[in-house]
Amino acid sequence: MSQPAAYVITRPRLAEWVGKLIGRAQVIAPRRAQGGDVAYDIVETPDQVAWDYSTSINPLKRFLFPQGDELLRWQRAGDDGLQLEPTYDETDRIFLAVRSCDLSGVLFLDRVFSREPEDVYYMTRRQHSTLISLTCSEPVEDCFCVCADAGPFLETGFDLQLTALSDDYLVEVGTEKGQELINQAEGLFAPAPDELIQARRDLEKEVEARFAEHKSYFAAALRKVTFDRVPDELWEEMADRCLECGGCSFVCPTCTCFLTADWQSEGEGHRDRLWDSCLYSCYTLEASGHNPRAQRRDRVKARFFHKLSYQFAKELETHGCVGCGRCIATCLGSNDMPTVTARIRRGAI
């Protein structure tokens, strides 16, 4: 008999299930931090999961592509030899109750890091990851995932997708891995009745209508950026507003700039990968001293070319924004995605 694609779980049983997940893997979920913010973090008990959150201040990328990541260790072996040992992270992780935009951000990273030559460090972590998303029913001011086709509900990409419906959660199965989690949960889930599946569909329509006011002009911006029809003065003006803090890169679920650094002492050492930002002047500085993007204007332009051009969208099958809105909250110069796409569309400030 084929298994149902949707299940229902009550709230008390949900807590029991989370307890079981915590016993099986490292569980990363929205967790209330000091000051009332919510951040994705490791949870040790089911009551630490902030089910009623709107968005988290950080994306998931630091768990899959950490800000500082040891890639390999080396040791001198004999007079001339060197022993190298790569450092792979094979921790089993379950990402629980992640918002659709953040799950879409992980799918974007998958495309970036699975290109040849595949990034074995990222891919190892992904092979050991399970993605359980939580649909959104309350759009917040800065979110525009509907414009980016990255939420508030997803059709694919998740292992399981949860939707809160009155006292129950509807659980949609996206993959065999997700189905396996349900099968291991011994009686906590029941097949979802048709009315509940219909209620989820109705909720999606209702929520999308509420998101309708949230706009980002991706189509117009994509055309203009691709064909280099953005006036230089506009890039110049945006560059004047940029403080080169790198905040937009670090909070963005789809930004992947990095550098590598070597550390050594007494015949041994390690090579690490560290987050970087294409807005930093040193990012493209070459050993010769030449910098192809010495002007900040060129760096701002390059950032949005990577995010919005057809050349990159074709390669990665989407543009580089999932509409999470974090750059709106972060950028002191208002070089956030909705503002920049609106300016590009107008061709003026």
Please give the residue ranges that form the binding site for ligand SF4 (CB under 6 A): 242-248, 251-254, 279, 321-327, 330-333, 335-337
What are the C-alpha distances in Å from 87 to residues 69, 109, 264, 275?
Answer: 9, 20, 16, 17
Which one, 93 or 319, has the nearer CB to ligand SF4? 319
CB of 325 to ligand SF4, least distance (A): 5
d(CA 249, CA 327) in angstroms, rounded, equals: 8
Which one, 108 or 121, has the nearer CB to ligand SF4? 108
**CB-CB contact of 186 with 20 (8 Å):** no
Two tokens at 121?
Answer: 């460090």
Residue 44 carries which DSSP code?
A: S
CB of 57 to ligand SF4, least distance (A): 11
Nearest to 119 by CA among 69, 157, 83: 69
CB of 60 to ligand SF4, least distance (A): 12
Which one, 273 or 303, has the nearer CB to ligand SF4? 303
CB of 278 to ligand SF4, least distance (A): 9
**CB-CB contact of 273 with 69 (8 Å):** yes
Main-chain phi, psi angles of 203, to 5 degrees: -65, -40
Which one, 56 or 330, has the nearer CB to ligand SF4? 330
What are the C-alpha distances in Å from 224 to residues 3, 188, 285, 324, 343?
Answer: 48, 52, 28, 23, 11
Which one, 243 or 259, has the nearer CB to ligand SF4? 243
Which one, 119 or 244, has the nearer CB to ligand SF4? 244
One-letter amino acid of 296: R
CB of 159 to ligand SF4, least distance (A): 22
CB of 153 to ligand SF4, least distance (A): 18
One-letter amino acid of 98: V
Which one, 174 or 247, has the nearer CB to ligand SF4? 247
Nearest to 161 by CA among 289, 9, 317: 9
Two tokens at 16?
Answer: 């029991």
CB of 330 to ligand SF4, least distance (A): 5
